Structure 1
Amino acid sequence: MTADQSIVIIGAGVSGLTTGVSLLEAGLPVRLVAEEVPGATSLAAGAMWGPYLVEPWVRVREWSLASLHVFEALAEDPSTGVRMVSGIEAARSQVPAPDWSDLLPDFRTCAPEELPAGFASGHRFTVPLIDMPVYLQYLLDRFQRAGGVVQHGTIRTLDEVEGASAIVNCAGLRGGDLAGDPGVRPIRGQHVVVENPGITEFFSEDTGLSSELLCIYPHGDNVVLGGTAIDGEGDLRDDPEAARAIVDRCAEIVPELAKTPVVAHLVGVRPTRSEVRVEEERRDSGSRVFHNYGHGGTGVTLSWGCAAEIAELALTTQDR
């Protein structure tokens, strides 16, 4: 790597910013290029740690655990937007504990009287809950303090990137297009932000593969209510009917939510792939591309683990 060349990261969502921080703090120069800083999809996230519906599990487990440790440390500083919050995930049928349950020391099965009416099983645990606007600003500030350069712009092909020692593809939904990978598809997600009527714990329903989700994530004065997961849809416009249904579902769990004022509507598109792609590609030109995309709805959960792997790859190839 020459002194006048930076690693160029494409994308400024949670994956791009976290990867940028990891590379900079490993001693590598970084320039980040994106249309939106921070990225809109990451801003629309809930966001609670949890490796849901994402593969390959062996790597996902390690990435998730690495991120968990970082978030636990960040939660000691309120200015990061990260807090450790206790709550319940429940289901209307008998559902076994998830594969990741052994990563959480306080994970336990709920007694029947702990569950809302109509629910048959559930688990209580404590995980990081992330206020995304606050957290993304924290990441951006940390990135720039470490010497990272932010450039607003659109990269349509990897060939457009100039003056780069290497490229990191963190472009989310567009990551597949840049990589010539047709396996990335959108899953549209919508949340409703309301004033907090006094909720201190999270609640989420295990809805399986349903497009209608139920989650309640308290963030101080506000609560993020979710949600939807509409496979194959990439429209970012608000859906008023879906928003009403989200509030109604959440009000079945916490009736006070039926009348609390709405603060904002959030819509994002989860960049989903059969498997998360974190790897190095050597192009015919000899240039190096590190791919970090396809996280689906677990971009926050995997962010620090995937970023650490990209930094390790970059340092390794630097020494070749």
Structure 2
Amino acid sequence: MGRVIVVGAGVVGLSCAVRLLEAGHRVDVLARELPRETTSAVAAAIWYPYRAWPQDRVLAWSRATYDELARIGAEHPESGVVLREGTEVVASREEKPWWSDAVPDLHETVDVPAGYDGGWAFTAPLVEMPVYLDWLAGRVLAGGGSITRLNLHGLPRTGDGGPDAVVDCSGIGAKFLASDPSVYPVQGQVVLVEQVGLERWWLDDTNADAPTYVVPRSRDIVVGGTDVEGEWSRTPSPEVAAGILRRALRLVPALAGAEVVGHRVGLRPARPTVRLERVGDVVHCYGHGGAGVTLSWGCADEVAGLIG
């Protein structure tokens, strides 16, 4: 087994590092941003295939990740992963979501707020990202790997004292590190409000320009969101936050009066398709859009297979 450098310490990079360590490789993670500073840390992090293509590969990765997150939630309660039922409201229930085969219990429901045709209820893994990223990082370190902050100006070179292979999980950074002009940011803003006893999650994706989601966590609730292509700013907008809360209140009236405890902005690393392929001694794994958590373990399994 050889030495592998993983570039990127978000959820995809850490998941790949864990799988490579399990396969017996020596693994070092290098990243400009440490786990809690990454886009992954901002995510509401509900299992849901969003802004990731092509559908056939995404479905397979999503199914594998669902199963692994369910196992982690059951066996490692300290990981921040829990399984919760919730509802995606829709404008029409004429056909099931394209990803429905990846979840075991999808069913129709008309128990939705006024103004919606109905929805799809199912159980999904919810991932409390600050807790989960710490847990993943702990698995990397416990497995003998390392995580180092380093501002790279290019992907590390293999051979001549360098690593045997490089795994590029640089997310939005792949635009520069992999010289890939097809990578672009999709800005997402969320509002954190106090936990008011909410247990179910809610999604409303009927407006492509403004997805609305309400995802409960142990101490707060993540309320989103936005979907702004090409926007690099990470500064929250008060006006946008007000709009998010208005939409969320229609979806979940129980949020009325909930205290706002924080604002966050993340940049989803979007691409026309997820890039997961081996080129020489480099395996590229980026372009997961809004589905990094949802695809993480499926992609990590494939990366480990490509490294061998």
TM-score, length of structure 2 as denominator length: 0.95
1:147 correspondence with 2:148: no
Residue 24 of structure 1 aligns with which residue? 21
Shift of 1:52: 2.3
- Preserved CA contact (<8 Å) 2:51 2:288: no
Name the counterpart of 2:50: 52
Report the secondary structure of 1:50's partner residue.
coil
Tell me how large the CA RMSD over aligned residues is: 1.5
AA in 2 matched with 1:13: G
Query: Contact between 2:288 and 2:295, CA under 8 Å: does it hold in 1?
Result: yes
Counterpart position of 1:318: none
Question: Where does structure 1 lack aligned partners over 5 or more consecutive residues?
Answer: 283-287, 316-320
Instruction: Give CA deviations for 1:111-141 in whole Å, capped at 9, x if unaligned.
Output: 3xx0110001311100101101110000000
Alignment of 1:181-260 (within 5 A): 181-210=180-209, 212-260=210-258
SS in 1 for 2:9: coil
Counterpart in the other structure of 2:12: 15
- Deviations 1:23-76 (Å, cap 9, x if unpaired)? 001110001111221042000000111112321112111111111111010111
1:75-110 Cα offsets, whole Å, 9 max, x none, are 112211000000110023455311111222211111
Query: Unaligned stretches of 5+ in structure 2?
Result: none
1:297 corresponds, among 290, 294, 300, to 290
Which letter maps to 1:185?
Y
The answer to whether the 8 Å contact 1:188/1:232 transfers is yes
Instruction: Judge conservation of contact 1:202–1:217 (CA < 8 Å) in 2.
Output: yes
Taking the aligned partners of 2:77 and 2:193, their CA distance within structure 1 comes to: 21
Distance in structure 1 (CA, Å) of the matches to 2:47 and 2:243: 24
Amino acid at match of 2:47: W
Aligned counterpart in structure 2 of residue 132 of structure 1, from 120, 129, 132: 129
Distance across 1 between alignment mates of 2:78 and 2:94 = 36
Per the alignment, in what secondary structure is the counterpart of residue 274 of structure 2? strand
Aligned match of 1:276: 274
Contact 1:192 1:243 in 2 (8 A): yes
Q: Provide closer, same or farther for how the CA distance between residues 248 and 95 of structure 1 changes in structure 2, counting only shifts above 3 A.
A: farther
What is the Cα deviation at residue 280 of structure 1? Answer: 0.3
Q: Runs (4+) of structure 1 moved beyond 6 Å?
A: none
Aligned to 2:261: 263
Q: Is the 8 A contact 1:24 1:148 kept in 2?
A: yes
